[in-house]
Structure 1
Amino acid sequence: MNGKKILFVSSELVPYLPENQVSLMSYEAPRMVNSNGGQIRIFMPRYGNINERRHQLHEVIRLSGMNLVINDMDMPLIIKVASIPRERIQVYFIDNEEYFKRKSTFFDKDGNLHEDNDERAIFFAKGVVETVKKLNWSPDIIHVHGWLASLVPLYLREFYKDELLFADSKIVTSVYDKGFDGELSSTALEKITYDGISEEHISELKSPDYNNLLKVAVRYSDAVILASEQVPEPVSDFAKSLDKPVLPFVSFQETEEAYAQFYETEVLK
């Protein structure tokens, strides 16, 4: 991975959120690339339950300040950064008072999905791309983890399809076991098509459940990693039906070698 530039986009990441499959692999994959001479950038949402003082987050004024249009609304983008000390890895946080100030990630205190999770996902996808554009950093690989990041491949390939910075970037999506029950807002598809994205290839989002979100992410990716032992069968079957590389599940101990080989021989070939 020496010299390769990899952008990691994740909905969760340790040590900022509790450890689970997504947050742990969102840390381990960049650590592996970083320790093998690759260049990395990591992006995640700045949820309100992340302790800014303890993790020493601070705003980057030169990257903040623009507004992103979400369903005809101007939503201010704030960028914060922090470092994971033991690895010397910098993390960029996508923030907005309306979407990410609340003291929770995906669910309210009653365990229900936040009603605006669809808008948060759109804002996150646009926020990541716009910030990377400001950094003028062209990644060789964009590796997506977690369902709140699942619109990133779609927006890169459709909304930002004429952006030369990403013309040669390859997108990898890691698919995990089921992330939530139920569906996002019934108007999710309408909000995405507002951005000029055709309904033709995202018709699954008429029913925006976990499996359908991941199917859209897989369709717009160049390669797929089955990151859990029990990936939902409709998603894994869909990934295997497409003419693109799929890395089957490997144990945690095998991850470093398997991911490095997959990047080099299947994604960047």
Structure 2
Amino acid sequence: MRVVFAASEAVPFCKTGGLADVAGSLPQALGERGVAVTLFLPYYREVRERFPDGEAVGMISVPIGKQSVSARLLRSGDTVFIDCPQYFDRVGLYGDEEGEHPDNDDRFGFFARSVLEGARVLFDSVDVFHVHDWQTGLLPLVLKTLYAEDPVIGNAAVVQTVHNLAFQGNFPKDRVSRFGLPWSVFTAEGAEFYDQLSFLKSGLVWADRINTVSPTYAREITTTNFGCGLDGVLIARKGNLSGILNGIDVDTWNPQTDEHLVRRYGRSDFVEGKAACKAALQRETGLEANASACLFASVTRVSQQKGLDLVLDALEKRVAKGDQFVLLGKGDVALLSPYRKFRDRYPDRVHLHETFDESFAHQVYAGADAFVMPSRFEPCGLGQMIAMRYGTLPIGVATGGLADTVRPHGFLAARAERRSVAGVIGAARRAFEKKSAWQARIRDAMGVDFSWKRSAKLYEALYNTAINR
């Protein structure tokens, strides 16, 4: 099976969010199952600087408006970069400190079509195009209209994965003609969304199969509360919609081999290992050396979605009684400000680390007792899975991937509301006092298989379903 994987970011090349983890790990896991996967990725400036040695394997040209934009195809292993300095040689993947790049419509409209052109150059045939989020959402539409009769790619199936429905790529409708598309696609049943051309909706309508990154999120996005205005489209395509949980890189996130830890541990010796890591984290952050305190922690982007505002009062009540809290993350200053004041009130019990620090993240996952992740919505989430692998029990809200992974080992609030979340934090703290039962939870949580092998098997089955449409 030949699969072309089209994504706007992927580790180890570039990353802004969880999409990069999926695009970096899933192709490898599929390759281990014998699926031939080639990842197509924009050759951003930061990728060029870190990976300058791609092999030139071809040239393509894509019409954008009245001009023809050319790009080189550069191969590095199983990855093909689209090298177009006009669109990708700049600071930031999607924007810079002044905001989103104003030509993101052209940039990713070009990228979607360049993947199709690149596939025509490099392969004799393609079985499946697997596209991700709005940045490649135009590809299914372009394939099914402009390339439907192409002998190399015209018969390929398309799988559209939605990592976050809230980001849709909606642009002025004159882009329909600018991208060479027929106006017949611009209808309420097609690519039109509130009189704009929607990249993501195009993918949802023209893909053969749609999937999201957890079964619960797949159900949630067919409702008005989570559908972001696209629930009607998703209800209409419900028979072709499914959810597959993401995995985590179990080699990178492995407490038995983790070089960032003062003591490594597994399921058989986690009591001693986590105690050592907790003491080290307390020293590193200037917190009181207190083994009996419950050390709550979050590793997160600070945004409205992530729900940190929902837990502040409950955490303060716990900290006032001697517990501790560590936050690793950056983002919305308005949401961080109350946490800065919280830290100032309890400098020896609260620590804020307002930058992303890979090594420190490992230390937090290992040293904390409970991982706080009160997201208002969470398509999948990786933090709760990493935390469980390190024996740190998650506290979250019953939404999306949290609902599919946290129980029965962690603790879930029924609703993303302060009272509900406070209740579940209290339940977790009471459970923490019962050491033997708490340790049994840890042992079971550390044994859950969150590897990409499980997910890859399901994706291969999804590809076969799409091919046999």
After TM superposition, list the pairs within 5 Å mapping 1:243-258 onto structure 2: 244-250=239-245, 252=247, 253=450, 254-258=454-458
Give the residue type in structure 2 aligned to 1:28. Answer: S
Cα distance in 1 between the residues matched to 2:91 and 2:164 = 24
Give the residue type in structure 2 aligned to 1:207. Answer: Q
Cα distance in 2 between the residues matched to 1:170 and 1:22 = 21
Match of 1:42 among 23, 39, 42: 39
Cα distance in 1 between the residues matched to 2:68 and 2:457 = 44
Give the residue type in structure 1 aligned to 2:158. Answer: I
1:62-107 alpha-carbon deviations (Å, 9 max, x no partner): 512x432201112121222223xxxxxx200112121111121111
TM superposition shift of 1:251: 5.0
Report percent identity of matched pairs: 21
Match of 1:222 among 205, 208, 227: 208
For the residue of structure 1 that corresponds to 2:126, the secondary structure is coil
Match of 2:116 among 112, 119, 129: 129
After TM superposition, list the pairs within 5 Å mapping 1:84-123 onto structure 2: 90-110=78-98, 112-123=99-110
For the residue of structure 1 that corresponds to 2:11, the secondary structure is coil
Unaligned runs of 5+ in 1: 84-89
Cα distance in 2 between the residues matched to 1:239 and 1:255 = 22
Cα distance in 2 between the residues matched to 1:73 and 1:128 = 18
Give the equivalent residue in structure 2 for 1:86: none
Match of 2:193 among 188, 201, 204: 204
- Confirm or deny: 8 A CA contact 1:107 1:113 kept in the other structure: yes
For the residue of structure 1 that corresponds to 2:155, the secondary structure is coil
Give the residue type in structure 2 aligned to 1:15. Answer: P
Cα distance in 2 between the residues matched to 1:95 and 1:78 = 5
TM-score normalised according to structure 2 size: 0.49
Give the equivalent residue in structure 1 for 2:127: 140
1:30-88 alpha-carbon deviations (Å, 9 max, x no partner): 112100011121101111122x353343251x512x432201112121222223xxxxx
TM-score normalised according to structure 1 size: 0.82
| Closer/same/farther in 2, CA of residues 47 and 251 from structure 1, 3 Å limit | closer
Give the equivalent residue in structure 1 for 2:163: 176
Unaligned runs of 5+ in 2: 248-449
Cα distance in 1 between the residues matched to 2:104 and 2:206 = 20
Cα distance in 2 between the residues matched to 1:203 and 1:261 = 31
| Closer/same/farther in 2, CA of residues 104 and 256 from structure 1, 3 Å limit | same
Give the residue type in structure 2 aligned to 1:255. Answer: S
- Confirm or deny: 8 A CA contact 1:226 1:236 kept in the other structure: no
Cα distance in 1 between the residues matched to 2:164 and 2:75 = 29
Cα distance in 1 between the residues matched to 2:133 and 2:45 = 18
Give the residue type in structure 2 aligned to 1:71. Answer: G
Task: Give the count of matched residue pairs.
Answer: 251
| Closer/same/farther in 2, CA of residues 9 and 169 from structure 1, 3 Å limit | same
Give the equivalent residue in structure 1 for 2:51: 55
| Closer/same/farther in 2, CA of residues 95 and 244 from structure 1, 3 Å limit | farther
For the residue of structure 1 that corresponds to 2:96, the secondary structure is coil
For the residue of structure 1 that corresponds to 2:21, the secondary structure is helix
Higher relative contact order (CA 8 A, sep 6+): 1
Q: Which has the larger radius of gyration?
A: 2
Give the residue type in structure 2 aligned to 1:248. Answer: G
For the residue of structure 2 that corresponds to 1:125, the secondary structure is helix
- Confirm or deny: 8 A CA contact 1:222 1:244 kept in the other structure: no
